[in-house]
């Protein structure tokens, strides 16, 4: 039977949306006649990104609790009730065979309703520290796919399968040197090349750091591909030059990863999974402004395997210069970090998650 119906729910950030899209794409390859419906939170980025990927989406009136008393918090109980009612209507109308949640507010009401009706549900948790929605749903779902060891601290051990996180399919083959990469960025062959990633919107503290350290990079003979983010491009494009290339967003990430031999990055789950596959030496500077400080926990899990350097924002002034200089000056150290992070890669994550969905279909 190929006429299956799947609902996928996840959103709020790219880290929840792109895994859901990757899973849907793999299901579509295996079941070309299947029907798909995404469920997201109204006014969040999934309402734009999912249709761009070619899928239908419906929005729930839901958001998270604020950390202080606000009008939004007073509305929260009404949003929950409204979302549960709409989720029930969606599930009753669409009659899914399996429901997949990748985290984010909207997946809470939807999976709660679906699991309550006896529909098999699968959770995909990207981070090393589980999100609140997934923790609340864990008791009700059939299977939980994770990317890190030790997740039985949050979830029932018997439901866990370690699959890794879905990554963009074009990256699985990028780690090899691409002869087009350096010319694409108009950079000089044979020099150390630093790739700076702060996410698609950018990271203020990383951008401040890079601007401040350009003289250090020049003295060490390092050229820079700098994705400063859409929010910061107007402020930082003035640093563009022969050895510093500044972009709001890099469309050819395969070239960027191939050109680089050192990477500075935030530590969102998707970025960490991609960088394991790329297998280059990485310095993680996690954002301290995310729920449960999960980026620091993600980066710590990699750093403790001697597979990356971790520097917290508050320690940059003291630790950055010496750590970066050591990275540039020691090919042996670069090679060790690159080889260790590559060992943590799980390039078949999407296929393995869909294998678990198939087991639920057979039940």
Instruction: Give the domain 5-165+348-362 fold.
Output: Rossmann fold (3.40.50)
Cα distance between residue 123 and residue 102, in whole Å: 6
CATH superfamily, with its number, for domain 170-343: Glycogen Phosphorylase B; (3.40.50.2000)
SS3 57: strand
pLDDT tens by residue, 7-39? 999 877 777 888 999 999 999 999 999 999 999
Binding residues: 13-15, 127, 168, 200, 250, 295
Cα distance between residue 276 and residue 346, in whole Å: 8
Cα distance between residue 180 and residue 199, in whole Å: 24
pLDDT tens by residue, 31-54? 999 999 999 888 778 888 899 999
Residue 316: the pLDDT is 95
Binding residues for UDP-N-acetyl-alpha-D-glucosamine: 13-15, 127, 168, 200, 250, 295
Identify the bridge partners of residue 195 per DSSP, sorted by sequence position. 225, 263
Identify the bridge partners of residue 124 per DSSP, sorted by sequence position. 145
Note every long-range contact of 63-70, with CB atoms under 8 Å and residues 24 or more positions apart, other chains counting.
63/105, 64/12, 64/105
The pTM of the full predicted model, rounded to 2 decimals, is 0.84
Residue 324: the pLDDT is 97
User: Do residues 213 and 288 touch, judged by C-beta distance below 8 A?
Assistant: no
User: What would the two tokens of residue 172 be?
Assistant: 């699985």
Cα distance between residue 80 and residue 172, in whole Å: 39
Q: Give Cα separations from 57 to 30, 86, 88, 124 (angstroms).
A: 21, 13, 15, 19
Residue 63: the pLDDT is 60
pLDDT tens by residue, 275-284? 999 999 999 9
Residue 237: the pLDDT is 95
Q: Where in the chain is the domain with CATH 3.40.50.2000?
A: 5-165+348-362, 170-343
pLDDT tens by residue, 182-200? 999 999 998 999 999 987 6
pLDDT (average), residues 60-71: 59
Contacts of 287 (CB under 8 A, 6+ apart): 203, 266, 267, 268, 295, 313
């Amino acid at each position: 039977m190929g006429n299956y119906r799947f609902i996928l729910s996840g959103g709020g950030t790219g880290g929840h949306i792109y895994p859901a899209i990757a899973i849907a794409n793999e299901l579509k390859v295996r079941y070309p006649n299947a029907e798909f419906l995404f469920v997201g939170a109204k006014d969040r980025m999934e309402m734009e990104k999912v249709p761009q990927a070619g899928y239908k989406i419906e929005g729930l009136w839901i958001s998270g609790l604020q950390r202080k008393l606000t009008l939004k918090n007073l509305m929260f109980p009404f949003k929950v009730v409204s979302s549960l009612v709409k989720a029930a209507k969606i599930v009753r109308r669409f009659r899914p065979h399996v429901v997949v949640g990748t985290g984010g507010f909207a997946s809470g009401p939807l999976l709660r309703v679906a699991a309550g009706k006896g529909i098999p549900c699968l959770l995909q948790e990207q981070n090393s520290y589980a999100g609140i929605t997934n923790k609340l749903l864990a008791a009700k779902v059939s299977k939980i796919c994770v990317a890190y060891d030790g997740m039985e601290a949050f979830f029932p051990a018997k439901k866990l399968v370690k699959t890794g996180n879905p990554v963009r399919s074009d990256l699985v083959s990028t780690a090899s040197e691409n002869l087009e990469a350096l010319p694409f960025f108009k950079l000089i062959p044979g020099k150390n090349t630093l790739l700076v990633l702060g996410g698609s919107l950018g990271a203020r503290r990383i951008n401040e750091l890079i601007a401040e350290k350009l003289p250090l990079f020049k003295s060490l003979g390092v050229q820079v591909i700098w994705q400063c983010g859409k929010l910061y491009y107007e402020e930082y494009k003035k640093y563009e030059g022969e050895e510093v290339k500044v972009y709001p967003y890099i469309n050819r990430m395969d070239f960027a990863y191939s050109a680089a031999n050192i990477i500075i990055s935030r530590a969102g789950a998707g970025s960490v999974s991609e960088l394991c596959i790329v297998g280059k030496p990485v310095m993680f500077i996690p954002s301290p402004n995310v729920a449960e400080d999960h980026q620091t926990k993600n980066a710590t899990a990699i750093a403790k395997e001697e597979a990356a350097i971790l520097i917290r924002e508050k320690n940059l002034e003291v630790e950055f210069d010496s750590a970066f200089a050591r990275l540039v000056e020691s090919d042996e150290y670069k090679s060790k970090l690159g080889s260790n992070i590559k060992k943590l890669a799980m390039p078949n994550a999407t296929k393995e998650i869909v294998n678990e969905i198939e087991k639920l279909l057979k039940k």
